[in-house]
Homo-oligomer: A and B are copies of this chain.
């Protein structure tokens, strides 16, 4: 029996992203009866939460929605009996992110929010919290679907899938952005385009692109050969970089923006160094943007999602998340790209690994479309990254410094023990008390 009234809890409700989520909900109010929305945050984020809650209520009124909006710091109460739990929190906030970005960079290593040692530190801070949330879901909302946005989404979903019984899907806006950019490049409506992904979060490859069902990936790769300026700009949008044609030709697939850190590491490192020198860490830039956003949000005349949010980097977030909830609730049997346990989808990755791939979504959840063997030319790197991710999860679950060191040494950006250990030790120190559990 389909429920006629749904309860949704948003952990990290005070996030600047929340208005997009709200917009998505109000847009679908006729087909997706979320009647209770619980916005949860921690004391450190109380002010933001209040601002968001007030905005949410104004948006609800404007949208003529009867959704009840609750604002709380009592996570357990919000989760109890929920049908959907959305997690988008950030342990330690942007200040912690600033450390994730600057500490590795000081050692000559990419400092990045989701990949490399920075993403690793974020994972180590986040896993204990997400596992606590899952214990609460198991106990008081065992039928709930958990949609996780918290980064690094692949690793967090890996922890959930292998250490809890919660029904969860990991989500990222990269795949939907790539699809939209391909549509823009083709000059067609996105609904006519299907892009198929294989790999890991922030490391997935587009191995098929169809237009009205016909395969057109080879033509897209060909387009990189001698693009005019305008085409080049559109092609760049697809992966945040214009890849040289020989690279894509030898790869035979399209990349995610994050592949730059693996295939153009030197260039990115230089860019990061310059940016850090000029503008400080990306976290600090975001902090400024967020500050301005929240000034907007606090404006009592505002009762829709402000346009500026789109520049924040959260494009299509609403579309990805709420359309996934919609597909589950309304048994849509449609294709999404999510993070989910492998179980043979890609035969040359571990059975229990969480991968990012296309799935068919309906009321029973998501089922991956079978892929088979991943090509050798990417299988090495993807296995390398996945091994690091599984070790990262184990380090957090076993609270073991030895495993944490193994994971750091297994990270693709680390090729030197002295460097790896120094970064790890500094991160543990800098992220006290979050990472105290790894102190020996």
Q: Enumerate chain A interface residues (CB-CB to B < 8 A).
A: 1-2, 208, 210, 212-215, 243-244, 246-247, 249-251, 262-267, 331, 333, 335, 343-348, 350-351, 360, 362-364, 367-373, 376-377, 379-381, 383-388, 390-391, 394, 402-403, 405-407, 409-410, 412, 415-419, 421
Contacts and interface: CB of A to CB of B under 8 A. Distances in A.
Contacts of A1: 214
Contacts of A2: 212, 214
Contacts of A263: 409, 415-417
A418 B331 CA distance: 40
Contacts of A266: 415-416, 418-419
Contacts of A343: 347, 370-373
A94 to B, nearest CB: 28
B376 A380 contact: no
A79 B135 CA distance: 41
Contacts of A373: 343-344
A417 B363 contact: no
Contact of A381 (B251, B347, B410, B418): B410
Contact of A384 (B333, B346, B364, B381): B381
B350 A348 contact: yes
A331 to B, nearest CB: 3
B364 A410 contact: no
A410 to B, nearest CB: 5
A249 B373 CA distance: 34
Contact of A262 (B347, B362, B387, B415): B415
Contacts of A415: 262-263, 265-266, 412
A264 to B, nearest CB: 6
Given A266-B416, A367-B369, A368-B369, A346 B344 contact: yes
B380 A417 contact: no
Given A2-B214, A344-B345, 10 more contacts: A210-B364, A213-B364, A214-B363, A246-B405, A246-B421, A250-B409, A263-B409, A367-B369, A377-B407, A381-B410
A192 to B, nearest CB: 10
A409 B371 CA distance: 23
Contacts of A363: 210, 212-214
A265 B416 contact: yes
